[in-house]
Amino acid sequence: MNQKITIRDVAEKAGVSISSVHLALNGKKGVGEETRQHIQEVADQLGYRPNVLASSLKRKPRTIVIALPSEHGSNRYFYPPIWKGIHDFMEQQPDAANYIELPYSDDNELDVKSELKERIANRQIEGLLTVGHIDLLDDDDWQRMERNGVAVTFINSERRGTKYLTCVEPYYDVIGRTMAELMTSRTTSYGSFFLCAGNPKYLSHSMVVRGFDAYLEENHLQNLVYKDFSWTMDEINYIHILRELMRPDIAACGAVFSQGTILLGRALEESGKKDKLYAVGSDISKETIERLNAGVINNVIQKNPYAQGLMGLRSLVDYFNGTTPPEKIYVGADVVFKSNLAMYEHGTSGVMLM
């Protein structure tokens, strides 16, 4: 028996997103005519047919815009599993909503910002899935969405002062405490720590740091902690991290975010400290897998981005189907060792909620 052709098969063969296939095959706006014809040709070649009868029995789908950093460039260290979780859900429920994907990066940020603002102004958005630190919108945009009843789900962390439906995130305080416990349990009581602490304006960074500090204070530990609050991957920030690692009193180091983990791993290698300092990183990527296997990094705390993406999109679809989610949806986070790395290499482990 032939395997059933899915909307994802068509998207992969055509080299487009799942939402583009959905728009093209349902005669909706949002794709160019040339792209629409190409998608239709690929669908015909594969023998894919949408379930027209099932779709006709449903009410008009809501428009959900997914505005997230893309999977490319420096975003590749964290966002690919998020997008995979989103696409897996879209494949499971392709007709549950009118999905509009707006991945953005430095190359297209202005275009995405313009389209998103236009959709908000023209009421062409009913649900928004995004991250709390998104900087594409201003206060007027958020207020307009609130007046128009747009349901907003944040993943990774919420945006301060913004009304939202739910936020899908791990327990950042627990992650910080776990990182502190790992580092203190493997070093002397007088050794100092270095922490790539990220952007203090990002709750997903600052709450981990807060948990780290709280663990030391509550356990009456006197270890000195040096912190670097840079969050971009430019060479100036890297040199600063490299210099910090050269301090003679540093016994362990850590990074609370994915890009910091990449810079920290490079600094450990180039400083000759990879076998001398205990290192804890954040988030699984190709580069962190390589450094975990090589012993450059001892542990990685995986924040389950796959589940964040999947559960975030599901929360909006469920809401439009009559189920209101809790204000916070927490996903599990895991400590990854070299010995259990195989469980996490594909980025889909741990979809269960804590």
What are the sequence ranges of the domains in the chain?
1-57, 172-302
Using pLDDT thresholds of 50, 70 and 90, give the confidence band for residue 177.
very high
Total length of the chain: 354
Identity (one letter) of the amino acid at 76? R
Percent over 90 (pLDDT), the chain: 73
32-46, 149-163, 173-187, 294-308: the lowest-pLDDT one: 32-46
- The pLDDT, as a whole number, for residue 134 is 84
pTM: 0.82
How many Cβ atoms are within 10 Å of 332's Cβ, its own excluded?
Answer: 17
**Mean pLDDT throughout 332-340?**
94
Phi, psi of 113 (to 5 degrees): -60, -45
- For position 255, what pLDDT does the model report? 98
CB 46 within 8 A of CB 54: no
Q: Position 118: which residue type?
A: E
Write down the architecture of domain 1-57 according to CATH.
Orthogonal Bundle (1.10)
1-57 and 172-302 share one fold: no
Indicate if the pLDDT at residue 57 is higher than 70: no
Supply 325's token pair.
């989610």
Could you report the per-residue pLDDT of 245-293, keeping only the tens digit for each? Answer: 999 999 999 999 999 999 999 999 999 999 899 999 999 999 999 999 9
Cβ atoms of 302 and 82 closer than 8 Å: no
Tracing tokens 């259990």 back to the chain, one arrives at 340
Residue 330 structure tokens: 């927490």
Query: Rounded to an integer, what distance in angstroms lies between the CA atom of residue 103 and that of residue 73?
Result: 12
Write out the two tokens for 17. Answer: 């997103």
Specify the higher pLDDT residue, 184 or 187: 184
Q: Which residues pair with 103 in a beta bridge?
A: 68
Report the alpha-carbon distance of residue 181 to residue 195 in Å, rounded. Answer: 14
Q: Mean pLDDT across the chain, nearest whole number?
A: 90
Structurally, at CATH architecture level, domain 172-302 sits in 3-Layer(aba) Sandwich (3.40)
